[in-house]
């Protein structure tokens, strides 16, 4: 059987309604005809999210082609934000998609038929790209500037890149890590990332882990993680991907 188009890697904790909305927008705005999968990383003490799983499975089966969506989950002990990349690596290890998407429970899909566009972009040049960058809509309160477009926060990588590296990320700042390895600032002679037609909204108006993440930025630039970045770039080169 052909691989699913995309695997959404989604660690989540204590946000069942946000998670339901995130999954709902993926299903609602898809064509319903292309196979995709959602992989959840759940802490064993997160009873609210665990209780939501049957409803999520029902949601994925509604109004779509039979078998179009699959839900997988890994339930493990709580590891915290400073080990967030471990959740993504565990989920990537059981994924099947041609593309692997870094996803959050507070990300809302905006683009109708997003799966059609991703499949088209993959067919048009997937062998020459390692990473897709959805455009992020950031809503603002000022009437004159109702929203702005950002990019980079939720990269989607080609399975070939994942297989060459042997993991998804080696830093809890997972999006920055992937950009440093293979994005426009990675030092390659040409950019292996692609600004996708797919648009998302990061609904980060609720309490976030930003204060927890800030101290991790300096750690990201220290030798261990920078050595991982260099090793992953070399792995991509050895596999003819850059």
- Rounded Cα distance between 196 and 211, Å, is 29
Tokens found for residue 121: 């972009």
Phi and psi at residue 90, to the nearest 5°: -65, -40
Instruction: Locate the domains of the chain by residue range.
Output: 6-238
Whose tokens are 């600032």? That residue is: 185
DSSP designation for 91: H
CB contact at 8 A, 54 and 22: no
Closest CA to 117 of 29, 192, 7, 8: 29
CA atoms within 13 Å, Cβ hemisphere of 97:
29
Task: Kindly state the helix (H) or strand (E) to which residue 114 belongs, with its residue range.
Answer: helix 114-125
CB contact at 8 A, 7 and 39: yes
Region of 44 on the Ramachandran plot (φ > 0 left; ψ -120 to 50 alpha; else beta): alpha
pLDDT at 116: 97
pLDDT at 129: 84
Q: Is 176 exposed, middle or buried (0-12, 13-18, 19+ CB in 10 A)?
A: buried
Q: Whole-prediction pTM value? A: 0.92
Question: How far is residue 195 from each of residues 18, 48, 111, 150, 229, measured CA to CA in Å?
Answer: 26, 36, 14, 11, 22
- Rounded Cα distance between 71 and 48, Å, is 17
| Topology annotation, domain 6-238 | Spore Coat Polysaccharide Biosynthesis Protein SpsA; Chain A (3.90.550)
Per-residue pLDDT of the chain (242 residues; tens, 9 = 90+): 789 999 999 999 999 999 999 999 999 999 988 999 999 999 999 999 999 999 999 999 886 677 899 999 999 999 999 999 999 999 999 999 999 999 999 999 999 999 999 999 999 876 678 899 998 887 665 554 456 666 678 999 999 999 999 999 999 999 999 999 987 555 554 556 788 999 999 877 655 556 677 778 888 989 999 999 999 999 999 998 87
pLDDT at 206: 57
pLDDT at 144: 47
């Amino acid at each position: 059987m052909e691989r699913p188009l995309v695997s959404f890697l989604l660690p989540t904790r204590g946000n069942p309604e946000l998670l339901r909305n995130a999954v709902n927008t993926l299903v609602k705005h898809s064509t319903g005809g292309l196979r995709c999968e959602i992989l959840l990383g759940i802490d064993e003490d997160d009873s609210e999210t665990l209780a939501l799983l049957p409803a999520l499975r029902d949601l994925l089966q509604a109004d779509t082609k039979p078998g179009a969506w699959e839900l997988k989950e890994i339930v493990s002990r709580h590891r915290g934000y400073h080990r967030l990349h471990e959740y993504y690596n565990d989920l990537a290890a059981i994924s099947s998609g041609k593309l692997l998407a870094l996803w959050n429970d507070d990300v809302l899909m905006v683009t109708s038929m997003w799966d059609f566009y991703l499949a088209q972009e993959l067919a048009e040049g997937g062998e020459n790209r390692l990473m897709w960058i959805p455009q992020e809509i950031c809503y603002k309160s000022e009437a004159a500037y109702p929203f702005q477009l950002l990019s980079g926060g939720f990269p989607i990588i080609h399975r070939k890149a994942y297989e060459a590296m042997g993991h998804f990320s080696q830093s809890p700042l997972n999006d920055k890590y992937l950009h440093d390895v293979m994005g426009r600032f990675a030092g390659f002679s040409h950019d292996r990332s692609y600004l996708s037609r797919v648009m998302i909204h990061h609904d980060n108006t609720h309490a976030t882990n930003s204060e927890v993440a800030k101290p991790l930025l300096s750690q990201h630039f220290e030798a261990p993680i920078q050595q991982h970045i260099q090793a992953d770039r070399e792995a991509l080169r050895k596999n003819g991907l850059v």
